[in-house]
Amino acid sequence: MATVKDVAKIANVSSSTVSRFIRHPEMVTESKRKRIEAAISQAGYVRNLNASTLKSNTSNLVGIILPAEHNLFFSSMVNRLNKALLPEKRLIVLYAENFDEVKTNVSLLLSMRAAAVLFIPEKKSHTIRTLTVSNGCYPLQLFVDNFPAFDSILIDDRNGAYLAAKKLLEYGHRRTLLIDGDNDVFGKRLDGYRTAIEEAGLVFDERSVLSLHSMEGCENIMYSYISEYRPTAIICVTELLAQRLCFRLEKEHISVPQDVSMIVYDDSPWSNLCGHTAISQPLETVVENITRLVKRNTEKNHIPCDTPTKIKLQPFLIERKSIKKI
């Protein structure tokens, strides 16, 4: 296995210069950087993260734990976040089917001496609180705030559903349907959806909400419910749900917006291509805030604030051609 000494010999610099380049490339002159980069490629050198971690009792790793199901918003967020954290930090992404796996992944990241852990806390956990605090790891909650003492970055989910329902009401729709997953933020979306309906002077119908407990067989469940309830417009939360619903509607020769209007989450290349009105999450702002908080709270000799940082960002509606006036 190639070593720092091997790289130094090829680049004709000292081992300390190579080590400095690996940790802080900006502290090495451009000419030496080019020679070291070429030498690393020639030697096939791979940095030993374990060795540097043992010396400092921490690493430059930032772990993020996400739900296992596909979500383009999360994929885009990870891609942008990885670029934003470089070169100081390296992002490692783990996935979890349930909250027990979230806790297991937190333990794994701490065994790797991760400097920060980003996660979606479906519920409170004494285990996560103890592990992160005891190991000097910076915990950052994403999209859910279940730990009062931890920093969090949230989306105003209530307002997103409120904006969607209000737009449908403006187009004359009085029989709408909200389709969402059975998760921690569902109650907030439901509140916003219900508020918009009641502000319009209408009586809220409990049947105007479909909460799905899993993705298994969701196409059949959604279509069966729609066939029975017969809404004129649908708000479909998450791109995956919206895609599956649209495929099933097409199979049944039901057109959007001629037969039923639709608003989807999130704004994506797919929703744009289909011409779907969408509730868009402020992706760039989310990434900017995560980057700022992680870098600030993992700096050497950083003194934690007594008051946690709670950031709530606003979604917005992008209007296209998937809503029909009635």
pLDDT band with cut points at 50, 70 and 90 for residue 30: very high
Q: Give the pLDDT of residue 118.
A: 97
Quote the DSSP letter at residue 87: T
Per-residue pLDDT reduced to its tens digit, 236-255: 998 889 999 999 999 999 99
Cα–Cα distances in angstroms (integers) from residue 6 to residues 2, 3, 149, in the given order: 6, 5, 47
Q: Please give the pLDDT value at position 133.
A: 85
Average pLDDT, the chain: 91
pTM: 0.79
Three-state DSSP class for residue 191? helix
Q: Which domains does the chain have, with CATH numbers?
A: 4-47 (no CATH), 58-155+284-314 (3.40.50.2300), 157-281 (3.40.50.2300)
- Distance between CA atoms of 262 and 164, rounded to whole angstroms? 10
Model pLDDT, residue 111: 84
Q: Enumerate residues 6+ apart whose C-beta is below 8 A from 19.
A: 4
Q: In what helix (H) or strand (E) does residue 211 lie, and over which residues does it extend?
A: strand 209-212
CA distances from 122 to 74, 231, 293 (A): 16, 31, 21
CB 182 within 8 A of CB 209: no
- The Cα–Cα gap between 83 and 59 comes to 18
**Which of 116-130, 156-170, 233-247, 275-289 is predicted least confidently?**
116-130
204, 194 contact by CB (below 8 A): yes
pLDDT of residue 48: 65
* Pair 306, 147: CB distance under 8 Å: no
77-81, 213-217, 262-266: least confident range: 213-217
Higher-scoring residue by pLDDT: 136, 81: 81
Residue whose pair of structure tokens reads 């959007």 in the numeric block:
256
Whether 234 contacts 263, CB under 8 Å: yes
Residues 200 and 31: their CA atoms lie apart, in Å, by 68
User: How far is the CA of 273 from the CAs of 193, 205, 269, 270, in angstroms?
Assistant: 26, 32, 6, 5
Mean pLDDT of 36-65: 75
Confidence (pLDDT) at 50: 55
DSSP 250-280: HHTT--TTTT-EEEEES--HHHHHHT-EEEE
Q: What's the gap between Cα 58 and its chain centre?
A: 25
* 122 Cβ contact list (under 8 Å, min separation 6): 99, 102, 144, 146, 183, 184
pLDDT of residue 122: 83
How confident is residue 263, by pLDDT bands cut at 50, 70 and 90? very high
- Residue 35 has what pLDDT? 94
User: Is it true that the peptide bond before 139 is cis, omega within 30 degrees of 0?
Assistant: no
User: Is 188 in a helix, a strand, or coil?
Assistant: helix
pLDDT tens column, 179-196: 998 777 889 999 999 999
84 closest CA partner among 281, 295, 296, 268: 295
